[in-house]
Amino acid sequence: MFVSILLAVPVVVGLFLVMHSLIDRDYENPEIKARKIADLVQPEEEIELETTTPKPDKVEDPEEPPPEMEMVQLDLDMDIDVENVAPAASVSLDISTSGMSSGDGEYLPIVKVAPIYPRRAQTRGITGYCIVEYTVTTSGAIRDPVAVDCQPSGVFERASVKAALKFKYKPRVVDGEAIEVAGVQNKFTYELEQ
């Protein structure tokens, strides 16, 4: 071990001297020409501060907090087996009511929600209609919606029933009491604009 230390010391000193001589040498590559760096001079400018503009008045906090917003439920049913090759047309829905009319003074529709055009029908350019029958409850909600006549069959039933469930009515009132109205029908017409 003593012999290896004696041999290692001159080798290390020699390597340090060789490295120092390589670093200290002024080596110039003939391929690299001297480049002159442009001097950057910024012109002198006076900066003027605009102090004549008045500050806006402080906004006072409102006395009452804003009303709370209702959460909107989105219908995100998607048919993932269908490619998105929908025609470049918009969807027009015609909603009309048949059965016991609101002209009889018995019940009045308050909210009618348009159904979402089924993606599979839209991509294939299918149009048609669907008649949904349901019961208007004493609270004005919809109960037991059933698709009774739909053309073409098996295409628009689900979207029409979902939309009908979101309808709201002013219920029929007899002798000061709200009563249910059965057999109310609503026709959903599905058309693609050309």
> In this predicted structure, what is the pLDDT of residue 72?
61
Q: What would the pLDDT profile of 133-174 be if each residue is shown by its tens digit?
A: 999 888 888 889 999 988 888 888 999 999 999 998 888 888
Contact 193, 89 (CB under 8 A): yes
Average model confidence (pLDDT) across the chain: 76
121: number of Cβ within 10 Å: 21
- How many angstroms separate the most distant Cα atoms in the chain? 121
When mean pLDDT is compared across 18-22, 64-68, 90-94, 150-154, the lowest value belongs to 90-94
Q: What would the pLDDT profile of 21-66 be if each residue is shown by its tens digit?
A: 888 776 566 566 666 677 777 777 777 777 777 777 777 776 777 6
> In this predicted structure, what is the pLDDT of residue 178?
85
Q: How many whole angstroms separate alpha carbon 96 and alpha carbon 188? A: 7
Q: What is the reported pTM?
A: 0.46
> In this predicted structure, what is the pLDDT of residue 89?
37
Task: Map residue 102 onto helix, strand or coil.
Answer: helix
Highest mean pLDDT among 4-18, 84-98, 118-132 belongs to 4-18
Q: Where are the domains of the chain?
A: 91-192
**Phi-psi category of residue 130: left, alpha or beta, with phi > 0 → left and psi -120 to 50 → alpha:** beta
> In this predicted structure, what is the pLDDT of residue 76?
52
Q: How many whole angstroms separate alpha carbon 100 and alpha carbon 183? A: 8
Q: Check whether 14 has a pLDDT greater than 90.
A: yes
The residue written with tokens 């299918």 in the block is: 126
Tokens of 173: 């009132």
Give 91-192's CATH code, choosing from 3.30.499.10, 2.60.40.3710, 3.30.2420.10, 3.40.630.10: 3.30.2420.10
> 169-172 long-range contacts, Cβ below 8 Å, gap at least 24?
169/107, 169/108, 169/109, 169/110, 169/136, 169/140, 169/141, 169/142, 170/107, 170/108, 170/109, 170/110, 170/140, 171/107, 171/136, 171/137, 171/138, 171/139, 171/140, 172/106, 172/107, 172/136
> In this predicted structure, what is the pLDDT of residue 39?
75
> In this predicted structure, what is the pLDDT of residue 53?
73
> In this predicted structure, what is the pLDDT of residue 92?
43
